[in-house]
């Protein structure tokens, strides 16, 4: 599948060398993407909060080369990472048609995360979006006339080809990816800003990430997505995502936090239910994930506060809550939930405005 809109005209001249730098945030899905078709097309629409503190910063240096093919070295926190190479090589080969300069340069990719590596927080969304944005910055250096709007759109398009959910990490703070009948401008190819009214209740919404298990995931999301092919509940699940998006449109407008909670928690548990009912089946939650969920539910029943959880493809728990209730809930997290985290670690995050270029 080739999308002509993103194929550039031949460059007038290639710079000999240069540098690009961007920082891009992670995101947390409210309605989950789980299952994909060829060419990184999602099986259903999803919507996410862009985060503020969990970020990847990437500095990309490039220099003209004469050899054939792709050439790059990649460093994480200053340490060379041979095991990142296959994923980046695959990413480059998917996007070369859209960025023909890729084989003209040797690249040095220097990347670092604000969250600890192996914290179990998916760094692929922030990592792939930061890299896509650096590559777009190079394209802009070669063709300074491209607009900000096109820059972001193509960055999202490229990031999706690296890691699906990365296309939701370019802008803030509520992003839709995947065509939905009732969301104007929504697309399977790029993440777009949620285009409708959002109630004050969602302003500065918090996400505290409880680090339950910092180890490597036993099952990659690529494998998980593929298990949705021939999954006995796949079609119902994809339909459910469409109707949960409809329900969320109403909630985002009205500010109805109780309905928000029921949509978000059902989405999280459905994601894991899909994993638990695939063939082969698997479980990514850990005993502490369930401890936290049960304590959170008890606390919510007792206090009436609007605390809820969501989960990624892992054991960590994202605790979501409105700004107006932040003090009491943060106290509860520190005193009651942190004990279930590995080494007591958690990360306080909240809604963010998207990626930023870095001056170097
Ligand atoms: O972007 P991927 O292929 O790593 O998939 C991520 C999928 C979930 O994080 C589980 C859900 C989502 O929508 O972000």
Order of strands, sheet of 317-321, starting from the edge strand that comes earlier in the sequence: 308-311, 317-321, 206-210, 346-350
246 and 262 in a single domain? The answer is yes
**178 and 110, same structural domain?**
yes
Q: How far apart are CA 116 and CA 339, in angstroms?
A: 19
Q: Which domain holds residue 329?
A: 201-350
CA distance 202 to 253: 10
Query: Residue 38 pLDDT more than 90?
Result: yes
Question: Do 186 and 205 reside in the same domain of the chain?
Answer: no
Instruction: Give the confidence band of 360 by pLDDT, cuts at 50, 70, 90.
Output: confident
70 CA distance to ligand 1 centroid (A)?
27
Best residue among 31, 32, 35 to mutate for probing ligand 1's pocket (most ligand atoms within 8 Å of CB) is 32
Higher pLDDT, 353 or 217: 353
Question: Same domain, yes or no, for 175 and 269?
Answer: no
Are 224 and 327 a contacting pair, CB within 8 Å?
no
Q: How far is the CA of 214 from the centre of ligand 1 (A)?
A: 17
Phi, psi angle pair for 111, to nearest 5°: -130, 150
Contact 321, 137 (CB under 8 A): no
What is the distance between the alpha carbons of residues 353 and 172, in angstroms, rounded to a whole number? 4
In ligand 1, the atom with minimum distance to the C-alpha of 36 is 3
- Atom number, ligand 1, closest to the C-alpha of residue 220: 4
CATH of the domain at 269: 3.30.70.890
- Same structural domain for residues 33 and 179? yes
The residues with which 17 forms a beta bridge, in sequence order, are 63
Q: What is the CATH number of the domain that holds 75?
A: 3.30.230.10
How many domains does the structure of the chain reveal? 2
ω before 75 within 30° of 0 (cis)? no
Tell me which H or E stretch contains 272.
helix 257-276
- Note the pLDDT tens digit of each residue in 273-311: 999 999 999 999 999 999 999 999 999 999 999 999 999
Query: Could you tell me the pLDDT band of residue 217, with boundaries at 50, 70 and 90?
Result: confident
β partners of residue 217: none
193 C-alpha to ligand 1 centroid (Å): 18
Residue 33 alpha carbon to ligand 1 centre in Å: 6
Rounded CA-CA distance 221/217 in Å is 9
- Ligand 1 atom at minimum distance from 33 CA: 13
> Are 219 and 164 part of one and the same domain?
no
Mutate-to-test residue for ligand 1 from 123, 273, 312, highest number of ligand atoms within 8 A of CB = 312
Q: Tell me the chain's radius of gyration from C-alpha atoms.
A: 20
Do 53 and 176 lie in one domain? The reply is: yes
Measured between alpha carbons, how far is 143 from 9 in angstroms, rounded to an integer? 9
* Closest CA relative to residue 42, chosen from 170, 236, 190, 158: 190
CA angle 248, 253, 152 (to 5 degrees): 75
Measured in Å, residue 313 CA sits from the centre of ligand 1 at 7
Q: What gap in Å lies between CA 191 and CA 343, rounded to an integer?
A: 35
13 lies in the same domain as 72: yes
**Residues 45 and 109 grouped into a single domain:** yes
- pLDDT tens-digit series, residues 65-89: 999 999 999 999 999 999 999 999 9
Mutate to test the pocket of ligand 1, among 25, 33, 174 (most ligand atoms within 8 A of CB): 33
pLDDT of residue 122: 66
Give the separation between CA 129 and CA 156, rounded to whole angstroms.
Answer: 7
In the structure, which protein residues have their CB atom closer than 6 angstroms to any atom of ligand 1? 29, 32-34, 46, 122, 124, 163-165, 221, 225, 271, 312-313
55 and 175 part of one domain: yes
* Long-range pairs for 326-333: beta carbons < 8 A, 24 or more residues apart: 326/206, 328/303, 329/206, 329/305, 330/206, 330/208, 332/299, 332/307, 333/208, 333/210
pLDDT tier at 120, thresholds 50, 70, 90: low
CA distances from 235 to 41, 44, 287 (A): 16, 10, 30
Instruction: State yes or no: pLDDT of 116 exceeds 80.
Output: no
Please tell me whether residues 278 and 170 are part of one structural domain.
Answer: no
Mean pLDDT rounded to a whole number for the chain: 96
179 and 32 co-located in one domain: yes
Q: Give the integer Cα–Cα distance in Å for 195 and 77.
A: 37
Q: What does the DSSP 8-state code read for residue 279?
A: S
């Amino acid at each position: 599948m080739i999308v002509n809109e993103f194929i550039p005209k031949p460059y007038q001249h290639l710079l000999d060398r240069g540098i690009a730098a961007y920082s891009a945030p992670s995101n947390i899905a409210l309605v989950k993407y789980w299952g994909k078709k060829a060419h990184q097309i999602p099986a259903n629409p999803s919507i996410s909060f862009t985060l503020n503190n969990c970020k990847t910063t990437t500095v990309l240096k490039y220099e003209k080369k004469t050899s054939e093919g792709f050439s790059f070295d990649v460093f994480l926190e200053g340490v060379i990472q041979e095991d990142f190479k296959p994923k980046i090589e695959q990413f480059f080969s998917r996007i070369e048609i859209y960025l023909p300069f890729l084989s003209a340069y040797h690249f040095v990719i220097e990347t670092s995360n604000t969250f600890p590596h192996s914290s179990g927080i998916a760094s692929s969304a922030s990592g792939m979006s930061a890299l896509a944005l650096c590559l777009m910055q190079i394209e802009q250096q070669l063709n300074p006339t491209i607009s900000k709007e096109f820059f972001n759109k193509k960055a999202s398009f490229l990031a999706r080809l690296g890691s699906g959910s990365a296309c939701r990490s370019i802008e803030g703070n509520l992003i839709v990816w995947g065509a939905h009948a009732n969301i104007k401008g929504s697309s399977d190819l790029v993440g777009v800003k949620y285009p409708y009214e959002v109630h004050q209740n969602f302003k500065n919404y918090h996400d505290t990430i409880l680090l339950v298990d910092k180890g490597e995931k036993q099952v990659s999301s690529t494998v998980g997505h593929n298990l949705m092919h021939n999954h006995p509940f796949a079609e119902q699940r994809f339909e459910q995502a469409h109707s949960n998006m409809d329900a969320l449109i109403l909630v985002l407008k009205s500010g109805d936090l109780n309905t928000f909670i029921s949509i978000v928690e059902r989405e999280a548990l459905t994601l894991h239910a899909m994993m638990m009912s695939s063939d082969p089946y698997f479980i990514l939650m850990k005993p502490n994930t369930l401890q936290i969920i049960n304590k959170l539910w008890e606390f919510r029943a007792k206090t009436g506060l609007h605390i809820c959880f969501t989960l990624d493809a892992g054991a960590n728990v994202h605790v979501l809550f409105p700004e107006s209730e932040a003090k009491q809930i943060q106290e509860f997290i520190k005193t009651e939930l942190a004990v279930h985290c590995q080494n007591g670690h958690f990360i306080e995050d909240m809604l963010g405005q998207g990626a930023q270029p870095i001056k170097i």
